[in-house]
Amino acid sequence: MAHPSQLGFQDAASPVMEELLHFHDHALMIVFLISTLVLYIIVAMVMTKLTNKNMLDSQEIEIIWTVLPAIILILIALPSLRILYLMDEINDPHLTIKAVGHQWYWSYEYTDYENLEFDSYMIPTQELTPGQFRLLETDHRMVIPVESPIRVLVSAEDVLHSWAVPCLGVKLDAVPGRLNQTAFILSRPGIFYGQCSEICGANHSFMPIVVEAVPLEHFENWSSLMLEDA
């Protein structure tokens, strides 16, 4: 999760987020090189008193500064399109979870099980135990197995919400009457935090998302206990 004075993104917990981080670094390096070149040209034009007559009207230079930006845009667009298609790819998910946004909490339904569903409310500050995070902890976590394709169906019951977990590279709008879907694979066990990312009313800041990734055998034990309590 994020920590104080952090400048970059959170550590990736899914292959898609790793790709997004690599693309960010790739695009940022191109922007840095362009900025450096432009700054050098500005300084050179201001500082020098000489004029190159061949640069005042040169067909070759005009071709270069037309073709070069096009090549740079292609170098940015191709990796971007690749990641865009990867994010939309859903192949044989092992588990499907429906997340429904309410004012102001989330409810989760594991559609592969008969009666496995629960509501997830934020834990009030006065009820937090040592080590828990204010405004981020919930009374029920969304537990999923690691290294398994997970499909999440997102909708809302009342107003617009947004199901977002930065570590997973997931941000999906929850729209009443509409079902959006996304997929991801958790590459390591851990607890990953997110929040509603669409202003949805007075308590918008108080509907966090907690995803807990566990090994498959632990997930099976957890699901058995939840079904027994249902």
In a domain, 2, yes or no: no
User: Are the beta carbons of 97 and 142 closer than 8 angstroms?
Assistant: yes
CATH code, 37: 1.10.287.90
Is the predicted pLDDT of residue 97 greater than 70, yes or no?
yes
Higher pLDDT, 103 or 1: 103
Domain range enclosing 76: 15-88
Same domain, yes or no: 104 and 34 = no
Is the predicted pLDDT of residue 230 greater than 70, yes or no?
no
Same domain, yes or no: 50 and 118 = no
Same domain, yes or no: 64 and 115 = no
Same domain, yes or no: 183 and 99 = yes
Same domain, yes or no: 37 and 104 = no
Is the predicted pLDDT of residue 205 greater than 70, yes or no?
yes
CB atoms near residue 108 (< 10 Å): 19
Same domain, yes or no: 116 and 212 = yes
Same domain, yes or no: 161 and 76 = no
Same domain, yes or no: 178 and 206 = yes
pLDDT score, position 4: 83
In a domain, 202, yes or no: yes
pTM above 0.75, yes or no: yes
Same domain, yes or no: 111 and 202 = yes
Same domain, yes or no: 56 and 145 = no
pLDDT digits (tens, 9 = 90+) for 62-83: 888 899 999 999 999 999 999 9
Count structural domains, the chain.
2
Query: What is the rounded average pLDDT of the residues 24-39?
Result: 94
Query: What is the rounded average pLDDT of the residues 135-139?
Result: 92
pLDDT digits (tens, 9 = 90+) for 149-189: 999 999 999 999 999 999 999 999 999 999 999 999 999 99
In a domain, 122, yes or no: yes
